Amino acid sequence: MGCGVGRMAVPLTGYLSPKGSYEGFDIVPAAIAWCVRSITRRFPRFHFQVADLYNKTYNPAGRYRAEDYPFPYADGSFDFVILTSVFTHLLPEDLDHYLDEIGRVCAPGARVFATFFLLNPESEAAIAQGRSQHTFAHPRGACRVEHDDIPRMPWPTPRNRCANAFSRGDSTSPPRGLRKMVRPRAWTSFQDIVVAVKH
């Protein structure tokens, strides 16, 4: 998800066996065009498509809002999902919908690798002491954002909300079935790593 110009796809071309395949999507048409031209032509099992998502900067003609976007894949079709610096650009309602879709497309036993800015006592202290590259100084509803004029880039996730979000949906939704394991990095320089397993 959010494959960009294949930063994670390129190293996987030397890892996947002939039985494996890769599906990437991104909202930036030029990035997908580059991936098709530079990766798919050499590695036909690697497929890329533009996500028809509205984004004021990158895809202003997009049909779907992030909170409504249906992932273009069948239920239970993946054993690994990776999102690097995707959730850091999604507001809470978008994150919830993406987790619903991730839970849907994951097969039992699938792994999910995602990065976040997790808001917890350690990261709050780093902000207060000036040890963080990010301040998230601007409140916006239930969350805080780094740039008040670009509300979707980036925002931190409270750690307890992250834990709850992976394991279940809201009160009217079925459980997502994703068991979360956090690998914190105290993001003074980078992001926290979250690994989840579909059970």
pLDDT of the chain, 199 residues: tens digit per residue: 999 999 999 999 999 998 999 999 999 999 999 999 999 999 999 999 999 988 877 788 888 988 889 999 999 999 999 998 888 877 777 888 899 999 999 999 999 998 887 777 777 777 778 877 777 777 666 667 777 665 555 556 666 666 667 766 454 556 677 776 655 555 545 778 888 889 8
Q: Which residues contact 64 (CB under 8 A, 6 or more apart)?
A: 52, 53, 54, 70
Domains of the chain: 1-64 (no CATH), 74-198 (3.40.50.150)
For residues 13 and 39, the answer to whether their CB atoms sit within 8 Å is yes
**pTM, entire model:** 0.81
Q: Are the CB atoms for 97 and 170 separated by under 8 Å?
A: no
